């Protein structure tokens, strides 16, 4: 008796990739995710390649992973993929202390985030 497979979290013409524990805040990561939403995959890769944001390199890795998942796991055509969803979530927050004047201390919060990218195959309009 084999183990039953889990149901897919996305549709038949979609593929998903997720990166957890990215060392950046959610607002900064969302700026990069917002810049690629709704774009064709090739254009989104170029956008991330030439972005001046540090975290764009990790978002590009996630997008490339979603493309590879679409091609290898689901048999989708990579030339017709579009980034349908790119959303950001919170992860843990490291708490640190910084010494201040007169024996006081100040809190330093170092947030982590996660990003999920969903690509979908769309047919080109004739």
Report domain extents, the chain.
14-121
Please give the CATH architecture assigned to the domain spanning 14-121: Alpha-Beta Complex (3.90)
Residues paired with 93 in a beta bridge:
111
126 pLDDT band, cuts 50/70/90, is low
Question: Region 68-81: what's the mean pLDDT?
Answer: 95
CA distance 66 to 29: 17
Q: Which of 119, 20, 22 is nearest to 73 (CA)?
A: 119
Token pair in block for residue 97: 């202390």
The predicted model gives 1-20 an average pLDDT of 90
């Amino acid at each position: 008796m084999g183990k039953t497979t889990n149901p897919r979290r996305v549709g038949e013409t979609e593929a998903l990739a997720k990166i957890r524990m990215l060392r950046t805040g959610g607002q900064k990561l969302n700026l990069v995710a917002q810049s690629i939403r709704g774009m064709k995959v090739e254009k989104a890769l170029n956008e991330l390649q030439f972005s001046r944001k540090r975290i764009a390199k990790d978002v590009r890795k996630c997008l490339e992973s979603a493309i590879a998942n679409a091609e290898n796991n689901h048999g989708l055509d990579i030339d017709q993929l579009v980034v349908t969803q790119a959303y950001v979530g919170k992860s843990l927050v490291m708490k640190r202390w910084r010494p201040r004047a007169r024996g006081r201390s100040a809190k330093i919060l170092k947030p982590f985030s996660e990003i999920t990218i969903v690509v979908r195959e769309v047919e080109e309009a004739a």
